[in-house]
Amino acid sequence: MEDRRTETLLNKYLEGTATPQEAAAVEEWYLKFKDVERGEITDTFIETSTDRIWQRLEKQHGLPQYKRTISIKLWAAAAAVVVVVLGGLFYYSNRNSNPAPLLAKQADVAPGANKAVLTLADGRKISLNDARNGALAQQAGISISKTADGQLVYELKAGEKELDTKGFSYNTIETPRGGQYQVSLPDGTKVWLNAASSLSYPTTFAGQRQRMVQLTGEAYFEVAKDKQHPFRVKSKSQEIEVLGTHFNVNAYADEPAVKTALLEGSVKISAGTAAVVIRPGQQASLKNGSINVEEVNTSVMADWKDGRFRFKNEPLASILRKVSRWYDVEVVYSPGFKDMPTFTGSVSRLDNVSAVLNMLEETSDVKFSIEGKTIKVQ
């Protein structure tokens, strides 16, 4: 990559004038190369701009500080990624900084949002997207409330006592297609629920030997540590046992396998007579009763909770299943369509669906059309 193009792209990003493709490229480069250590920089522009980019991204993504020392050779390799973005989905063009969208003249579909329905143990249903912020209900000594930023919070209020119920009263939170929601369970465990998913959990964990929840669809868990009360997740023919950890479970009915990706801690996955323990950076896939373990980029597995789609050599069909759920659209393939290219790259989930489809079209021979809530693939 020429130094001038590098400087132009980084300046555009810092000034806020970069296109979504260019901004995604810079951020993808950061996430891939942030841990590289190096010697001294002699190029003043690169040294200054990379420091500013690091500071901005650390603030934007809530990431920890990293040592900012990278050799010129490593910088060149990293900067090249800004342009090609891992050889895949997005590219930087100095011919036109605002290329015309390929689907601009067609109907578009807005992204999903915080939408969910809470079903209480007594059968009452509360639409969380319609309910006012603040207290919603109280069960077993636990106060249930909705926050302004789209979270459902269970907490023991000062002066209240959590009831030691021995029964199996459960609450269920369900997201529709085109919806997502976050819930903080009574034990402090945080759960991010993706589109078309549901989570059932006890109204209280008090008096129970284990913390058992049931999932359909996809969720990211940050489990509160409690060695005396293991946390278990049941989902589509498997059970996950944890003590305190961060992991993502994809258990949609229309996916060929149940995938559990571990970011922190340790989990044991059981399915019938098969059982495995995975470590951070690994993913277990359950298919036809067998569990396969592989090394993966876990940031890609949990990208959705951070508001992004990230693909790494991902087949088109898999990408479009995600698009279908998040944008609540139907995907229809033209008769005889067989070519399933793979893609690597990143794009915001906050953009309209045309932004995702435009970028897929730019790097393949696949063409899309939007008709109402239907996406046609050719």
Domain boundary among 283, 300, 317: 300
Residue 324: the pLDDT is: 97
Residue 153: the pLDDT is: 96
341 and 347 Cβ atoms separated by less than 8 Å: no
Is there a domain that residue 92 lies in?
no
Residue 327: the pLDDT is: 97
Q: Lowest-pLDDT range, 15-24, 78-87, 351-360?
A: 78-87
Nearest residue to 374 via CA among 338, 333, 316, 322 = 333
CA-CA distance, 32 to 45, in Å (whole number)?
21
What range does the domain containing 209 cover? 113-300
Nearest residue to 31 via CA among 244, 310, 282 = 310
pLDDT reading at 124 higher than 90: yes
Same domain, 291 and 335: no
Is there a domain that residue 331 lies in?
yes
Same domain, 285 and 325: no
Same domain, 75 and 219: no
Same domain, 136 and 71: no
Domain boundary among 300, 335, 358: 300
pLDDT reading at 365 higher than 90: no
347 and 308 Cβ atoms separated by less than 8 Å: yes
Half-sphere exposure of residue 20, counting CA atoms within 13 Å on the CB side? 18
Q: Which two tokens stand for residue 154?
A: 């269970």
Same domain, 262 and 338: no
Residue 184: the pLDDT is: 96
Between 82 and 280, name the one with better pLDDT.
280
Residue 364: the pLDDT is: 85
Residue 292: the pLDDT is: 96
Same domain, 272 and 366: no
Same domain, 45 and 138: no
Same domain, 194 and 241: yes
CA-CA distance, 340 to 250, in Å (whole number)?
22
Same domain, 64 and 118: no
Q: Which two tokens stand for residue 171?
A: 């609450």
Is there a domain that residue 103 lies in?
no
pLDDT reading at 80 higher than 50: no
- Single-letter amino acid, residue 305: K
Is there a domain that residue 293 lies in?
yes
CA-CA distance, 230 to 225, in Å (whole number)?
9
Is there a domain that residue 147 lies in?
yes
Same domain, 70 and 129: no
CA-CA distance, 80 to 360, in Å (whole number)?
20
Between 166 and 107, name the one with better pLDDT.
107
DSSP letters, 342-378, are: EEEEEEETTS-HHHHHHHHHHTSS--EEEETTEEEE-
Is there a domain that residue 23 lies in?
yes
CA-CA distance, 18 to 10, in Å (whole number)?
9
Is there a domain that residue 90 lies in?
no
Domain boundary among 300, 316, 346: 300
Burial class (CB in 10 A: 0-12, 13-18, 19+), 264: middle
Q: What is the mean predicted confidence (pLDDT) over 211-230?
A: 95
Residue 173: the pLDDT is: 98
Specify the CATH number for the domain of residue 338.
3.55.50.30
**Residue 186: left (phi > 0), alpha (psi -120 to 50), or beta?**
alpha
Name the DSSP letter for residue 305. G
Specify the CATH number for the domain of residue 237.
2.60.120.1440
Number of domains in the chain: 3
Inter-CA distances, 289 with 115, 239, 277, 295, Å: 33, 13, 16, 20
Same domain, 39 and 176: no
Q: Where are the alpha helices (DSSP H) in the chain?
A: 3-15, 20-33, 44-61, 72-84, 298-301, 316-327, 353-362
Is there a domain that residue 108 lies in?
no
Q: Which two tokens stand for residue 92?
A: 């930087």
Nearest residue to 345 via CA among 21, 17, 1, 80 = 21
CA-CA distance, 350 to 294, in Å (whole number)?
30
Inter-CA distances, 160 with 49, 51, 142, 206, 297, Å: 52, 49, 8, 14, 43
- Single-letter amino acid, residue 43: D
Strands 134-139 and 238-242: what pairing? unpaired
Q: What is the mean predicted confidence (pLDDT) over 355-363?
A: 89
Same domain, 123 and 171: yes
Q: Lowest-pLDDT range, 47-61, 109-123, 202-216, 257-271?
A: 47-61
